[in-house]
Chains A and B, each alone.
Chain A
Amino acid sequence: MAKILIIDDDPDLIDTYLIILTNNGYEVSSALNGEEGLVKIKNDKPDLVVLDVMMNTDYEGFDVARKIREDMKLLKLPIIMLSGIHEVKKVRYRFAPDETYLPVDIWLDKPIEPDVFLEIIRTTLSDMPQQTG
């Protein structure tokens, strides 16, 4: 059973994801901010992280992504960034996965349809090399 960690400051949203994902056979844990999320990544060793951007600070999720890759050296842990920042800040540009400056695998704008979200989780996990041991 694949383990998914959701890092998002919205408890209602976490509950929603939790129901969707557990109903589909995933083991789900959650964190309400980046700091807590990084601890859970270290301890729980999730197979995939769903990461919000705007939490304690407007750009907290960006820092968390960088820390996962640069400090924790988890280069292959799939990160799906799921955020409403484009809509909230009404910006005319877009953030997007970038190996150098935004080291996540997929960017998704909130809100997202549950079936689309599940399909992306499934595809992302199936694209990962199989772990043994």
Chain B
Amino acid sequence: MATEKSDVVVLGGSAAGLTAAITAHRQYPEKSVVIIRKEAKVLIPCGIPYIFGTVGTPEKNLVSDAVLDKNKIKLIVSEAEKIDTENKTVKLAGGDEVVYEKLIVATGSLPAMPPIPGFDKENVWAIHKDVEFLRGIQNKLKDVKNLVIVGGGFIGIEFADECKKAGVENVTIVEFLPHCLMLAFDEEFAVEAEKIMTERGIKLMTGVKVQEFAGDKKVTSVKLGNGEELKADAVIMGIGAVANVKMAKKSGLKLGPTGAIAVNRYLAASDPDVFACGDCAEKISFFGGRPSPLKLASIATSEARIAGANLFGLRRENIGTIGVWGTAIGDFALSCAGLTESMAKQAGYDFVIGEAEGPNRHPGTMPGAKNIKVKLTFERRTGVLLGAQMMGGSVVGELINVMSACIQKKMTIDDIAVFQIGTHPALTASPIAYQVVNAAEMAFMKTKK
């Protein structure tokens, strides 16, 4: 049994773990940093659906380990079995130990499996972040003619589009809600996304529940709540993820209301020398502070930059999860940040909406012009921005990050209406019709009603 020592030990080497380790090195360059992860190779989590079509193989969707050397981070590939918080030691599979001064737990999440009758049949897949597993699925997909995807959220639609690209003949998404993407977008955005998906040959069954996966040993069909039965050679589950806390729980770390590791606003866990970040850690909403179930790599890395900075002195604070997403279906992009109109309504806000639409070049006859629609939600009395939704050209994937910054800094209708923007005919919308600014102006008019 070997014992190693490191000032900082990070458990997990994906988005949160790697970012936390890099942050720890940048903030405390005199401290030694070790990452312990069980995977020899780490997948880029958001890139997983693209393995099946655009990217081609799991090997083309890996996080490079070169960043470890560059940041003087030592890597140990092994499974952490238990944290002995009293002796500040991580026990590894095989008996070795690593002694830490400060520990960051970033063990991520595991795919959620809905216990629909027949879920344990062959070819019913919950997607694991594992190179071998994904390679196996990719090989099996070559023989799949009828694929059913359960869940019409981001994961579901991305898998559907990529599997279609990979040559699967019939791809059907089954979504219980009235439309796909409804947990992130208002209906008009979801409907547009559905139109594009349908045009690309994806069949959508919305507002219906899966009743059973039928078949002998292997799935052969999916029975739906409306009495229909879909042929299925394989099923992919796209209904979300659950915090991976087995080791944390075994080690006595407190869990929070959603079953993830309980943390405070500094990302400190229940032990004074342990922090947690990413999918394995509890989250609170930026809007009202209630527990948030959101799990995104971008949230994980933001938290990792907080946890890594706070190890030896509290420097950064977690303001809660805004929820910023983007996706693309072909060359049609959608993005959102914060609260949609329906979420604002449900949360009890008195709000106004501002919308604007137009080409992202000026004039609109310029090459590469695409239409962009922007919808902003503001709190009526204060004018503070609560949320933004966008769709159209791929620029909305970046523009939403600007809007997220506006939400984070609680900017108002007037702040956004007088944005000092840079525009160019070949690059942006017209300064007269700049969608974000105009949407704020439209919202202003509604505050006067």
Which residues of A line the B interface, CB within 8 A?
59, 62, 86, 91-96, 98, 100-102, 106-109, 116, 123
Measured CB to CB, the nearest residue on chain B to A89 is B120
Interface membership of B316, Cβ < 8 A? no
Complex Cα spacing A96 to B239, Å: 10
Nearest CB on A from B79, distance (A): 13
The 8 A CB mask of B214-252 against A (1 = contact, 0 = none) is 000000000000000000000001011010101001000
Complex Cα spacing A74 to B110, Å: 30
The answer to whether A92 and B128 touch across the interface, beta carbons within 8 angstroms, is yes
Instruction: Pick 28 A–B contacts, CB within 8 A, sort by A.
Output: A59-B117, A62-B115, A92-B110, A92-B111, A92-B128, A93-B110, A93-B113, A93-B126, A94-B110, A94-B111, A94-B244, A95-B114, A95-B115, A96-B112, A96-B240, A96-B242, A98-B112, A98-B114, A98-B239, A100-B209, A101-B209, A101-B210, A101-B239, A102-B114, A106-B259, A107-B259, A108-B259, A116-B255
Complex Cα spacing A93 to B130, Å: 12
The answer to whether A93 and B249 touch across the interface, beta carbons within 8 angstroms, is no
Nearest CB on B from A91, distance (A): 7
Taking A98-B239, A123-B257 as given, write out 6 further A-B residue pairs in contact, using a Cβ cutoff of 8 Å, ordered by the A residue number. Answer: A93-B126, A94-B244, A96-B112, A98-B114, A100-B176, A100-B209
Interface membership of B93, Cβ < 8 A? no
Measured CB to CB, the nearest residue on chain A to B209 is A100
The answer to whether B115 and A94 touch across the interface, beta carbons within 8 angstroms, is no
| Contacting residues, chain A, for B67 (C-beta < 8 A) | none
The answer to whether B112 and A94 touch across the interface, beta carbons within 8 angstroms, is yes
Interface size class of B (residues with CB under 8 A): 20 to 34
A-B pairs with beta carbons under 8 A, tally: 53
Interface membership of B314, Cβ < 8 A? no
| Contacting residues, chain A, for B128 (C-beta < 8 A) | 92-93
Complex Cα spacing A106 to B291, Å: 14
Nearest CB on A from B414, distance (A): 39
Residues 110-149 of B contacting A (Cβ, < 8 Å): 110-117, 126, 128
The answer to whether A94 and B176 touch across the interface, beta carbons within 8 angstroms, is no
Contact with B115, one of A59, A108, A109 (Cβ below 8 angstroms): A59
Complex Cα spacing A116 to B276, Å: 20
Complex Cα spacing A49 to B244, Å: 25
- Interchain residue pairs A-B with the least CB separation, the first 10: A101-B114, A94-B242, A93-B113, A93-B126, A62-B115, A96-B242, A100-B176, A94-B110, A93-B111, A96-B112
| Contacting residues, chain A, for B255 (C-beta < 8 A) | 116
Nearest CB on B from A107, distance (A): 7
The answer to whether A95 and B249 touch across the interface, beta carbons within 8 angstroms, is no
Known A-B contacts A107-B259, A109-B249; the reply to A95 vs B209 at CB < 8 A is no
Nearest CB on B from A115, distance (A): 11
* A96, A106, A116, most chain B CB atoms within 10 A: A96
The answer to whether A96 and B126 touch across the interface, beta carbons within 8 angstroms, is no
The answer to whether B113 and A95 touch across the interface, beta carbons within 8 angstroms, is yes
The 8 A CB mask of B140-179 against A (1 = contact, 0 = none) is 0000000000000000000000000000000000001000
Nearest CB on B from A4, distance (A): 20
Complex Cα spacing A92 to B125, Å: 11
| Contacting residues, chain A, for B116 (C-beta < 8 A) | 101
Complex Cα spacing A46 to B210, Å: 30
Complex Cα spacing A59 to B115, Å: 8
| Contacting residues, chain B, for A100 (C-beta < 8 A) | 114, 176, 209
Nearest CB on B from A53, distance (A): 8
The answer to whether B259 and A96 touch across the interface, beta carbons within 8 angstroms, is yes
Contact with A95, one of B112, B244, B246, B257 (Cβ below 8 angstroms): B112
The answer to whether B110 and A101 touch across the interface, beta carbons within 8 angstroms, is no
Measured CB to CB, the nearest residue on chain A to B130 is A92
Complex Cα spacing A12 to B209, Å: 38
Complex Cα spacing A72 to B249, Å: 34
* A92, A95, A100, A109, most chain B CB atoms within 10 A: A100
The answer to whether A101 and B249 touch across the interface, beta carbons within 8 angstroms, is no
Complex Cα spacing A123 to B111, Å: 27
The answer to whether A91 and B113 touch across the interface, beta carbons within 8 angstroms, is yes
| Contacting residues, chain B, for A96 (C-beta < 8 A) | 112, 240, 242, 259
Complex Cα spacing A101 to B240, Å: 12
Measured CB to CB, the nearest residue on chain A to B109 is A94
| Contacting residues, chain A, for B126 (C-beta < 8 A) | 92-93
